Amino acid sequence: MTDTPLLKVSGVSKFYGSRIGCKDVSFELWPGEVLAIVGESGSGKTTLLNCLSTRLMPTTGSVEYRMRDGNFRDLYHMSEAERRFLMRTDWGFVHQNPADGLRMTVSAGANVGERLMAVGDRHYGNIRATANDWLTRVEIGTDRIDDQPRAFSGGMRQRLQIARNLVTSPRLVFMDEPTGGLDVSVQARLLDLVRGLVNDLGLSAIVVTHDLAVARLLSHRMMVMKDGHVIEHGLTDRVLDDPREPYTQLLVSSILQV
Amino acid sequence: MTDLATYNFAYLDEQTKRMIRRAILKAIAIPGYQVPFASREMPMPYGWGTGGVQVTASIIGPEDVLKVIDQGADDTTNAVSIRAFFQKVANVAVTTHTKDATIIQTRHRIPEQKLTEGQVLVYQVPIPEPLRFLEPRETETRKMHALEEYGLMHVKLYEDIAHNGRISKTYAYPVKVAGRYVMDPSPTPKFDNPKMHMSEALQLFGAGREKRIYAVPPYTEVVSLDFEDYPFEIQKFEQPCALCGAQGVYLDEVVLDDKGGRMFVCSDTDHCEDRREHGHAGELLAQNKEAAE
Amino acid sequence: MATPLVVSEVFKSFTMHLRDGIKLPVVNDVSFSVASGECVVLGGPSGIGKSSILKMLYGNYAVDAGQILVSHKDRLVDIASADPRTIIDVRRHTLGYVSQFLRTVPRVAALDVVAEPLVARGIQAPEAKEKASDLLARLNLPRELWSLPPATFSGGEQQRVNIARGFITSHSILLLDEPTASLDAVNRRVVVDMIAEKKREGVALLGIFHDEEVREAVADRILDVTRFSPRKAAA
Ligand SMILES: Nc1ncnc2c1ncn2[C@@H]1O[C@H](COP(=O)(O)OP(=O)(O)OP(=O)(O)O)[C@@H](O)[C@H]1O
Ligand SMILES: [Mg+2]
Ligand SMILES: [Zn+2]
């Protein structure tokens, strides 16, 4: 167990006018830990995720991130250049809709290679070899390397998006409903893949999902959100098997078995 | 009544020229950075080099000697009309000789003759934004320049190699200026890119429709983007110029007849003529001479 | 003798918010300990709270009050109040649990399911798989099943995968919830032998065994959970 968290979140709130997006969220995320944020639609999951990933500025609160040099930096006080650099090197962001996270008009290989090129990789052969390697890891045939994601199925696109994010070995990955629009069988494959990659790479991840089975399978810990508030927070199997809050009990009871 | 009486010197009013000069100074101070400016209507349609014309009009003085080329030639309609325009509105001396010109306005070429200190090369630019092909949002491309996020440029080159086995881009080949801004050198052939590097002349770029001015000051590093294993290369021509025998210059293909006859000649007409005047002869000229004798 | 597990004054109830918030007391004032090399068996009728106790010890159920002290890496951890990260670490290194049913993960082969707890502790995959193979062979799981995900296995086959997974590590405390329930006589005996080995290795075992024969064979002590029943207390 490492003794320093990767992310320290304190008192993060986001208001949309007088409406609450999320309210007073605090937690720490440790290296190798996967946190699931669950709740029904409109409960503030995505707002919180966007605040944590600095895609959105919260109204109040702070998020500190431990940089590769070991120093904590307050994300909201970083320059935009630093934040964007962090986002394309040390972080990943997997969108629910792959089209939001991919360049649909460039090849799969270039989609995977973009981050490498962005950090200064200038050897075409190496970039391509790495892209091939990653396509294999996410179970996309290397014969598809020059095809555009437009020609891919939803599941393939989502796997490509994951490869594109993981190629720079990020330490923290944000995922917003990663299995959202996919068929059940495709979901299972993707989940299994993500689970394997997270384990192998020792990634930390924050996964927003309304699907408790996804939370069960991927996460160590979960937070249940309702009306912008975190109402229950704990070890994933504890929250799912012994839910304490009325709303969590409702969530758990309204699905068959997870 | 003289023509001059109806126009301010060099057509633009002083106010406008001052505004454009300020943009030019800013562009020189930040090599490769696209400076927005309030582009004016010119008495010619966009696409005819209104950006370059406004830049030239703002820097030209009565003592200047102007040369105008289009694809390397001094005698195309475009070059002739721009030259005539400045003769009319600024009454300046004009030339076709690269070495005699103080200002050279160009569309799509850099002269073969090495430019020297004190000369200014003014490029006519249709689309100044090198990132547009991959990122159409202007707000985003500006941010990418500001934050020096140029990975996308290499994505474009990567795609080229992936689909063609090599970087097939032959003109408007992107460059990095002074180690900072990535710049579109306008649709010049990549053959001319090395001439931009450490050029003794000042290079100014004007995009009229897009309202942008950018610059490469003299003695500035201009590096063509590439990959380590796919290094930047300029076009090579198998044979020398058919007229003057020049090698290592940019050649145009000229179709001679409808039986597939063709020849390759200097795209820089002044360079070609100058060589011929100095006794150089290409294959075609030699043949003609023989035939005449 | 070392006592790696000490439970004191633990209370547990469920509040059923969806049913008018009725409160369902499960166990009151649970106190006991398990020593190294000892196998304690929880006894009592169905529904008395045996599984709930194991789940609390594992951190799977929350605790209303009391302490669950576990010797973990030269210190004491109170499972009742530990944060999730600590519980995960305790589960990884100290506290093993064989549930009654295997929770299958799609697409992961039986052999990898078994090897995973070792891999999670940083042991190289080939070594972990070798150990997993030994255990599966010992539990007579047909070799042709090893490379298949256990989702389609029979109850007894799944249970053997589950047992192998629970026994593969050298955790110092092992919780067993009816591990032999769906096994045949031959495999039940294998499990009895495996438990005896764990005892010799100094592991503290706490289990639920409905099968009288198995219970007789493994139990050093039977703890009747009826003692902790709130109904009894009220009576
Ligand atoms: N997650 C839960 N939510 C609500 N009530 C529960 C939960 N888990 C167990 N209970 C209740 O707690 C009581 C004890 O159950 P438990 O499963 O611990 O019994 P047990 O002694 O293991 O029984 P068996 O011998 O049948 O397995 C039962 O009344 C059960 O219904
Ligand atoms: Mg039970
Ligand atoms: Zn020539």
Q: Is the CB of C43 within 6 Å of ligand 1? A: no
**C87 and C163 co-located in one domain:** no
Residue C193 within a domain = no
Distance (Å, whole) CA A51 – CA A46 = 8
Q: By CA distance, what is B164's nearest residue in A?
A: A146
**C2 and C76 co-located in one domain:** yes
Q: Which of C59, C60, C85 sits opposite A30 (nearest CB)?
A: C85
- Tokens read off for A244: 């304490």
Residues B71, B79 contacting (CB under 8 angstroms): no
**C56 and C151 co-located in one domain:** no
Residues in A touching B147 (Cβ below 8 Å): 80-81, 84-85
Residue C197 within a domain = no
Q: Which of B52, B206, B266, B282 is catalytic?
A: B266
Using alpha carbons, select from B186, B195, B187 the residue that is nearest to residue B213. Answer: B186
Chains touching chain A through at least 3 C-beta pairs below 8 angstroms are B, C
ipTM of predicted complex:
0.92
**C53 and C133 co-located in one domain:** no
**Which pLDDT value is given to residue A1?**
52
Distance (Å, whole) CA B244 – CA B265 = 8
B85-106 pLDDT tens trace: 999 999 999 999 999 999 999 9
C6-60 pLDDT tens trace: 999 999 999 999 889 899 999 999 999 999 999 999 999 999 999 999 999 999 9
At the second CATH level, the architecture of A31-90+170-258 is 3-Layer(aba) Sandwich (3.40)
**Nearest-ligand number for the alpha carbon of C176:** 2
Distance (Å, whole) CA C41 – CA C175 = 10
The full set of domain ranges for chain A reads 31-90+170-258, 100-169
**C18 and C82 co-located in one domain:** yes
Sign (positive/negative) of CA torsion B273, B279, B284, B288? positive
Can you give the CATH number for the domain in which C228 is found?
3.40.50.300
Residue C196 within a domain = no
Longest Cα pair distance anywhere in chain A, in angstroms?
56
- Tokens read off for C89: 């670490």
A218-256 pLDDT tens trace: 999 999 999 999 999 999 999 999 999 999 999 998 875
- Tokens read off for B207: 């995009």
**Which pLDDT value is given to residue A257?**
57
Sign (positive/negative) of CA torsion B253, B254, B259, B261? negative
Distance (Å, whole) CA A235 – CA A109 = 38
Residue C208 within a domain = yes
- Tokens read off for B25: 């100074």
Number of domains in chain C: 2
Q: What is the DSSP letter of B122?
A: E
Stated as kind and residue range, the H or E segment containing A204 is: strand A204-208
Residue C107 is which amino acid? R
Distance (Å, whole) CA C89 – CA C170 = 14
Q: Which of B52, B208, B244, B245 is catalytic?
A: B244
Residues in A touching C16 (Cβ below 8 Å): 249
Where helices occur in C69-154 by DSSP H, the ranges are 84-93, 110-120, 125-138
Please state, in angstroms and as integers, the Cα–Cα distance from residue A136 to each residue in A114, A142, A190, following that order.
17, 7, 14
Please give the full DSSP string across C12-73, using - where no structure is assigned: EEEEEGGGTTEEEEEEEEEEEEE-TT-EEEEE-STTSSHHHHHHHHHTSS--SEEEEEEEET
**C162 and C209 co-located in one domain:** no
Distance (Å, whole) CA B10 – CA C31 = 100
More confident residue, C53 or A191: C53
- Tokens read off for C32: 């006991």
Residue C73 within a domain = yes
Residues in A touching C21 (Cβ below 8 Å): 246
- Tokens read off for C116: 């995973």
Using alpha carbons, select from A26, A37, A23 the residue that is nearest to residue A221. Answer: A37
A57-100 pLDDT tens trace: 999 999 999 999 999 999 999 998 899 999 989 999 999 999 99
**C12 and C110 co-located in one domain:** no
**Which pLDDT value is given to residue C235?**
42
C141-151 pLDDT tens trace: 999 999 999 98
Residue A204 is which amino acid? S
**C3 and C76 co-located in one domain:** yes
Query: Containing domain of residue C109, as a range?
Result: 102-170
Q: What is the pTM of this model?
A: 0.87
**Which pLDDT value is given to residue B173?**
96
B209-243 pLDDT tens trace: 999 999 999 999 999 999 999 999 999 999 999 99
Residue C213 within a domain = yes
**C18 and C124 co-located in one domain:** no
Q: Is the CB of C55 within 6 Å of ligand 1? A: no
Active site residue B61: no
Strand partners, C34: C5
**C24 and C73 co-located in one domain:** yes
**C180 and C64 co-located in one domain:** yes
**C73 and C150 co-located in one domain:** no
Distance (Å, whole) CA C135 – CA C154 = 18
Distance (Å, whole) CA C147 – CA C110 = 6
Using alpha carbons, select from A253, B97, A198, A28 the residue that is nearest to residue C14. Answer: A253
Distance (Å, whole) CA C203 – CA C166 = 13
Using alpha carbons, select from C104, C107, C21, C30 the residue that is nearest to residue C61. Answer: C30
- Tokens read off for A143: 């014969």
- Tokens read off for A113: 């290679």
- Tokens read off for B184: 């579109």
Q: Which of B52, B72, B272, B282 is catalytic?
A: B272
Strand partners, B189: B171
Q: By CA distance, what is B143's nearest residue in A?
A: A81
Q: Which of A84, A119, A127 sits opposite B158 (nearest CB)?
A: A127
Angle at C12 between CA C10 and CA C15, to 5 degrees: 155
The pLDDT of B41-68, averaged and rounded, is: 91
